[in-house]
Amino acid sequence: MTASDQTDQADRTARTARADAPAPEGTATPDDHALRDAIALDRRPDRPSAVSSTLTFAWRALLKIKHVPEQLFDVTVTPVIFTLMFTYLFGGALAGSTEAYLQYLLPGILVQTVLFTTVYTGYTMNTDITKGVFDRFRSLPIWRPAPIVGALLGDTVRYTIASVVTIALGLLLGFRPDGGVVGVVLAVLLLLVFAFALSWIFTILGLVLRSPNAVMGVSMMVLMPLTFASNIFVDPTTMPDVLQGFVDVNPVSHLTTAARGLMSGTAGVDDVTWALVAAVVLTAVLAPITMRLYRNRS
Protein backbone atom coordinates (compact mmCIF):
# COMPACT_ATOMS: atom_id res chain seq x y z
CA MET A 1 0.00 0.00 0.00
CA THR A 2 1.39 3.34 -1.02
CA ALA A 3 1.67 6.35 1.23
CA SER A 4 -1.20 8.00 -0.70
CA ASP A 5 -3.46 5.00 -0.13
CA GLN A 6 -2.61 5.01 3.56
CA THR A 7 -3.53 8.71 3.78
CA ASP A 8 -6.91 8.16 2.04
CA GLN A 9 -7.69 5.27 4.37
CA ALA A 10 -6.90 7.41 7.41
CA ASP A 11 -9.15 10.20 6.15
CA ARG A 12 -12.05 7.77 5.61
CA THR A 13 -11.57 6.33 9.07
CA ALA A 14 -11.57 9.78 10.65
CA ARG A 15 -14.74 10.81 8.79
CA THR A 16 -16.49 7.60 9.88
CA ALA A 17 -15.49 8.19 13.48
CA ARG A 18 -16.78 11.74 13.38
CA ALA A 19 -20.11 10.61 11.90
CA ASP A 20 -20.58 7.92 14.55
CA ALA A 21 -19.54 10.11 17.46
CA PRO A 22 -22.35 11.97 19.30
CA ALA A 23 -22.61 15.67 18.60
CA PRO A 24 -21.35 17.95 21.37
CA GLU A 25 -24.01 19.21 23.73
CA GLY A 26 -25.77 22.26 22.32
CA THR A 27 -24.71 21.52 18.73
CA ALA A 28 -27.51 21.10 16.16
CA THR A 29 -27.32 17.99 14.00
CA PRO A 30 -28.73 17.68 10.45
CA ASP A 31 -31.72 15.83 11.91
CA ASP A 32 -32.36 18.77 14.25
CA HIS A 33 -32.38 21.18 11.33
CA ALA A 34 -34.79 18.95 9.40
CA LEU A 35 -37.14 18.78 12.40
CA ARG A 36 -37.09 22.54 12.84
CA ASP A 37 -37.85 23.04 9.16
CA ALA A 38 -40.76 20.60 9.40
CA ILE A 39 -42.45 22.36 12.34
CA ALA A 40 -41.57 25.90 11.36
CA LEU A 41 -44.54 28.20 10.75
CA ASP A 42 -44.65 30.87 8.10
CA ARG A 43 -46.56 33.19 10.42
CA ARG A 44 -47.70 33.45 14.01
CA PRO A 45 -50.98 31.56 14.66
CA ASP A 46 -54.06 33.72 15.09
CA ARG A 47 -55.20 34.26 18.63
CA PRO A 48 -58.34 32.18 19.40
CA SER A 49 -61.57 34.14 19.61
CA ALA A 50 -63.46 34.63 22.83
CA VAL A 51 -66.21 32.28 21.66
CA SER A 52 -63.74 29.58 20.62
CA SER A 53 -61.85 29.77 23.92
CA THR A 54 -65.05 29.68 25.96
CA LEU A 55 -66.45 26.68 24.11
CA THR A 56 -63.13 24.86 24.54
CA PHE A 57 -63.30 25.25 28.30
CA ALA A 58 -66.97 24.27 28.28
CA TRP A 59 -65.97 21.07 26.46
CA ARG A 60 -63.28 20.54 29.09
CA ALA A 61 -65.97 20.62 31.79
CA LEU A 62 -67.96 18.00 29.91
CA LEU A 63 -64.89 15.79 29.47
CA LYS A 64 -64.38 15.84 33.23
CA ILE A 65 -67.87 14.38 33.60
CA LYS A 66 -67.09 11.77 30.95
CA HIS A 67 -63.94 10.59 32.72
CA VAL A 68 -65.42 10.81 36.24
CA PRO A 69 -69.13 9.93 35.84
CA GLU A 70 -69.50 9.79 39.62
CA GLN A 71 -69.80 13.59 39.40
CA LEU A 72 -73.36 13.07 38.17
CA PHE A 73 -74.38 11.38 41.42
CA ASP A 74 -75.71 14.60 42.92
CA VAL A 75 -77.81 15.51 39.87
CA THR A 76 -79.33 12.06 39.44
CA VAL A 77 -79.83 10.73 42.96
CA THR A 78 -80.40 13.92 44.98
CA PRO A 79 -83.55 15.03 43.10
CA VAL A 80 -85.03 11.55 43.52
CA ILE A 81 -84.41 11.59 47.26
CA PHE A 82 -85.82 15.11 47.77
CA THR A 83 -88.91 14.50 45.64
CA LEU A 84 -89.83 11.20 47.27
CA MET A 85 -89.02 12.39 50.78
CA PHE A 86 -90.99 15.64 50.76
CA THR A 87 -93.90 14.24 48.77
CA TYR A 88 -94.58 11.25 50.96
CA LEU A 89 -93.43 12.65 54.32
CA PHE A 90 -95.26 15.98 54.19
CA GLY A 91 -97.79 15.69 51.37
CA GLY A 92 -100.63 14.28 53.44
CA ALA A 93 -100.02 16.63 56.37
CA LEU A 94 -99.64 19.82 54.35
CA ALA A 95 -102.05 19.36 51.45
CA GLY A 96 -104.30 16.51 52.49
CA SER A 97 -102.98 14.17 49.80
CA THR A 98 -99.65 13.44 48.14
CA GLU A 99 -101.14 13.97 44.67
CA ALA A 100 -102.29 17.51 45.46
CA TYR A 101 -99.04 18.41 47.18
CA LEU A 102 -96.98 17.06 44.28
CA GLN A 103 -98.62 19.58 41.93
CA TYR A 104 -97.42 22.39 44.21
CA LEU A 105 -94.10 20.84 45.24
CA LEU A 106 -92.50 19.62 42.03
CA PRO A 107 -91.67 23.02 40.49
CA GLY A 108 -90.15 24.03 43.83
CA ILE A 109 -88.12 20.82 44.07
CA LEU A 110 -86.92 21.47 40.54
CA VAL A 111 -85.69 24.91 41.59
CA GLN A 112 -84.04 23.60 44.75
CA THR A 113 -82.31 20.73 42.95
CA VAL A 114 -80.77 22.93 40.27
CA LEU A 115 -79.70 25.64 42.72
CA PHE A 116 -78.03 23.07 44.95
CA THR A 117 -76.14 21.81 41.90
CA THR A 118 -74.62 25.26 41.32
CA VAL A 119 -72.45 24.74 44.40
CA TYR A 120 -70.36 22.29 42.39
CA THR A 121 -69.11 25.13 40.17
CA GLY A 122 -67.13 26.75 42.97
CA TYR A 123 -66.01 23.38 44.30
CA THR A 124 -64.44 22.25 41.01
CA MET A 125 -62.88 25.65 40.39
CA ASN A 126 -61.21 25.64 43.78
CA THR A 127 -59.96 22.11 43.08
CA ASP A 128 -58.35 23.30 39.84
CA ILE A 129 -56.81 26.27 41.64
CA THR A 130 -55.29 24.15 44.41
CA LYS A 131 -53.75 21.87 41.76
CA GLY A 132 -52.21 24.82 39.87
CA VAL A 133 -54.30 24.32 36.74
CA PHE A 134 -55.66 27.87 36.69
CA ASP A 135 -52.15 29.34 36.91
CA ARG A 136 -51.50 27.69 33.56
CA PHE A 137 -54.77 29.03 32.15
CA ARG A 138 -53.86 32.58 33.16
CA SER A 139 -50.59 32.33 31.22
CA LEU A 140 -52.30 31.37 27.95
CA PRO A 141 -52.95 33.96 25.20
CA ILE A 142 -56.73 33.59 25.40
CA TRP A 143 -59.72 35.69 26.37
CA ARG A 144 -59.20 36.09 30.10
CA PRO A 145 -62.72 35.15 31.31
CA ALA A 146 -62.86 32.05 29.05
CA PRO A 147 -61.87 29.46 31.73
CA ILE A 148 -64.56 30.71 34.12
CA VAL A 149 -67.36 31.37 31.62
CA GLY A 150 -66.62 28.06 29.88
CA ALA A 151 -66.85 26.17 33.15
CA LEU A 152 -70.17 27.84 33.94
CA LEU A 153 -71.55 26.95 30.51
CA GLY A 154 -70.36 23.37 30.88
CA ASP A 155 -72.16 23.12 34.20
CA THR A 156 -75.47 24.01 32.53
CA VAL A 157 -75.42 20.44 31.21
CA ARG A 158 -75.47 19.24 34.81
CA TYR A 159 -78.40 21.54 35.56
CA THR A 160 -80.26 20.20 32.53
CA ILE A 161 -79.72 16.60 33.63
CA ALA A 162 -81.00 17.42 37.12
CA SER A 163 -84.07 19.07 35.60
CA VAL A 164 -84.84 16.11 33.35
CA VAL A 165 -84.51 13.63 36.23
CA THR A 166 -86.76 15.69 38.50
CA ILE A 167 -89.48 16.23 35.90
CA ALA A 168 -89.40 12.60 34.76
CA LEU A 169 -89.83 11.38 38.33
CA GLY A 170 -92.65 13.85 38.91
CA LEU A 171 -94.50 12.65 35.83
CA LEU A 172 -94.05 9.08 37.02
CA LEU A 173 -95.53 9.97 40.41
CA GLY A 174 -98.52 11.76 38.90
CA PHE A 175 -97.46 15.36 38.28
CA ARG A 176 -99.42 16.82 35.37
CA PRO A 177 -98.37 20.31 34.21
CA ASP A 178 -101.30 22.20 32.69
CA GLY A 179 -98.84 24.38 30.79
CA GLY A 180 -97.83 21.41 28.67
CA VAL A 181 -94.43 20.76 27.15
CA VAL A 182 -93.93 24.41 26.21
CA GLY A 183 -94.54 25.58 29.76
CA VAL A 184 -92.16 23.00 31.21
CA VAL A 185 -89.42 23.87 28.71
CA LEU A 186 -89.79 27.60 29.38
CA ALA A 187 -89.62 26.97 33.14
CA VAL A 188 -86.41 24.96 32.74
CA LEU A 189 -84.85 27.63 30.49
CA LEU A 190 -85.68 30.33 33.02
CA LEU A 191 -84.16 28.20 35.76
CA LEU A 192 -80.97 27.62 33.75
CA VAL A 193 -80.54 31.36 33.21
CA PHE A 194 -80.96 32.07 36.91
CA ALA A 195 -78.67 29.20 37.91
CA PHE A 196 -75.94 30.54 35.60
CA ALA A 197 -76.20 33.92 37.32
CA LEU A 198 -76.24 32.45 40.82
CA SER A 199 -73.14 30.37 40.01
CA TRP A 200 -71.04 33.54 40.10
CA ILE A 201 -71.48 33.62 43.88
CA PHE A 202 -69.93 30.19 44.28
CA THR A 203 -67.24 31.01 41.74
CA ILE A 204 -66.18 33.89 43.98
CA LEU A 205 -66.13 31.55 46.96
CA GLY A 206 -64.00 29.13 44.93
CA LEU A 207 -61.48 31.91 44.30
CA VAL A 208 -61.44 33.26 47.86
CA LEU A 209 -61.52 30.17 50.06
CA ARG A 210 -58.52 27.90 50.49
CA SER A 211 -59.97 24.41 50.12
CA PRO A 212 -62.78 22.67 48.21
CA ASN A 213 -64.37 21.51 51.47
CA ALA A 214 -64.52 25.09 52.73
CA VAL A 215 -66.22 26.13 49.49
CA MET A 216 -68.81 23.40 49.89
CA GLY A 217 -69.54 24.28 53.52
CA VAL A 218 -69.89 28.04 53.00
CA SER A 219 -71.93 27.55 49.82
CA MET A 220 -74.48 25.42 51.64
CA MET A 221 -74.75 28.10 54.32
CA VAL A 222 -75.65 30.58 51.56
CA LEU A 223 -78.16 28.27 49.85
CA MET A 224 -80.00 26.98 52.90
CA PRO A 225 -81.80 30.22 53.83
CA LEU A 226 -82.43 31.07 50.17
CA THR A 227 -84.17 27.78 49.46
CA PHE A 228 -85.86 26.85 52.72
CA ALA A 229 -86.96 30.41 53.59
CA SER A 230 -88.95 30.62 50.37
CA ASN A 231 -92.18 29.36 48.88
CA ILE A 232 -90.65 26.14 47.57
CA PHE A 233 -92.33 23.86 50.12
CA VAL A 234 -95.24 25.79 51.64
CA ASP A 235 -97.36 28.87 51.12
CA PRO A 236 -95.60 31.73 52.97
CA THR A 237 -98.87 33.27 54.18
CA THR A 238 -98.72 31.04 57.28
CA MET A 239 -95.24 32.27 58.23
CA PRO A 240 -94.43 34.99 60.81
CA ASP A 241 -94.42 38.53 59.43
CA VAL A 242 -90.64 38.93 59.61
CA LEU A 243 -89.96 35.65 57.82
CA GLN A 244 -92.72 36.36 55.31
CA GLY A 245 -91.08 39.70 54.52
CA PHE A 246 -87.82 37.91 53.70
CA VAL A 247 -89.65 35.36 51.57
CA ASP A 248 -91.35 38.14 49.62
CA VAL A 249 -88.02 39.70 48.57
CA ASN A 250 -86.17 36.41 48.18
CA PRO A 251 -85.32 35.99 44.46
CA VAL A 252 -85.71 32.22 44.81
CA SER A 253 -89.36 32.75 45.77
CA HIS A 254 -90.00 34.78 42.62
CA LEU A 255 -88.16 32.18 40.54
CA THR A 256 -90.26 29.39 42.04
CA THR A 257 -93.49 31.31 41.48
CA ALA A 258 -92.50 31.95 37.86
CA ALA A 259 -91.64 28.27 37.32
CA ARG A 260 -94.95 27.18 38.86
CA GLY A 261 -96.83 29.62 36.69
CA LEU A 262 -95.10 28.51 33.49
CA MET A 263 -95.71 24.84 34.25
CA SER A 264 -99.35 25.41 35.15
CA GLY A 265 -100.00 27.82 32.30
CA THR A 266 -100.79 30.75 34.62
CA ALA A 267 -97.44 32.55 34.62
CA GLY A 268 -97.49 36.22 35.49
CA VAL A 269 -95.25 38.64 33.61
CA ASP A 270 -94.10 40.25 36.86
CA ASP A 271 -92.61 37.09 38.36
CA VAL A 272 -90.86 36.03 35.14
CA THR A 273 -89.49 39.54 34.68
CA TRP A 274 -88.38 39.67 38.31
CA ALA A 275 -86.43 36.42 37.93
CA LEU A 276 -84.78 37.59 34.71
CA VAL A 277 -83.88 40.98 36.18
CA ALA A 278 -82.41 39.29 39.26
CA ALA A 279 -80.28 37.07 36.99
CA VAL A 280 -79.02 40.07 35.01
CA VAL A 281 -78.21 42.04 38.17
CA LEU A 282 -76.37 39.12 39.75
CA THR A 283 -74.25 38.62 36.63
CA ALA A 284 -73.57 42.34 36.14
CA VAL A 285 -72.43 42.78 39.75
CA LEU A 286 -70.66 39.50 40.46
CA ALA A 287 -68.93 38.79 37.14
CA PRO A 288 -66.58 41.83 37.34
CA ILE A 289 -65.78 40.99 40.96
CA THR A 290 -64.98 37.41 39.96
CA MET A 291 -62.65 38.52 37.16
CA ARG A 292 -60.87 40.98 39.43
CA LEU A 293 -60.23 38.24 41.98
CA TYR A 294 -59.14 35.91 39.19
CA ARG A 295 -56.60 38.41 37.83
CA ASN A 296 -55.18 39.34 41.22
CA ARG A 297 -55.04 35.87 42.74
CA SER A 298 -51.43 34.99 43.58
| Contact status, residue 122 vs residue 132, Cβ threshold 8 Å | no
| Contact status, residue 294 vs residue 286, Cβ threshold 8 Å | no
| Contact status, residue 165 vs residue 80, Cβ threshold 8 Å | yes
Query: What's the pLDDT score for residue 19?
Result: 47
For the chain, where are the alpha helices, taking DSSP H only? 3-20, 30-39, 50-67, 73-76, 78-95, 98-117, 119-130, 133-138, 146-173, 180-208, 212-228, 241-249, 251-264, 269-296
Query: What's the pLDDT score for residue 143?
Result: 87
pLDDT in tens, the chain (298 residues): 555 555 555 555 545 544 454 545 555 555 666 767 666 666 666 778 888 889 999 998 888 877 777 777 778 888 889 889 888 888 877 777 888 889 999 999 999 999 998 888 888 888 888 888 878 888 888 888 888 899 899 889 889 999 999 999 999 999 999 999 999 999 999 999 999 999 999 999 999 998 888 999 999 999 999 998 999 988 888 888 898 899 988 999 999 999 999 999 888 888 899 999 999 999 999 999 998 988 877 5
Separation in Å, CA 154 to CA 24, 29, 119, 199: 50, 47, 14, 12
AA identity, residue 54: T
Closest CA to 79 of 186, 188, 180: 188
**What pTM did the predictor assign?**
0.79
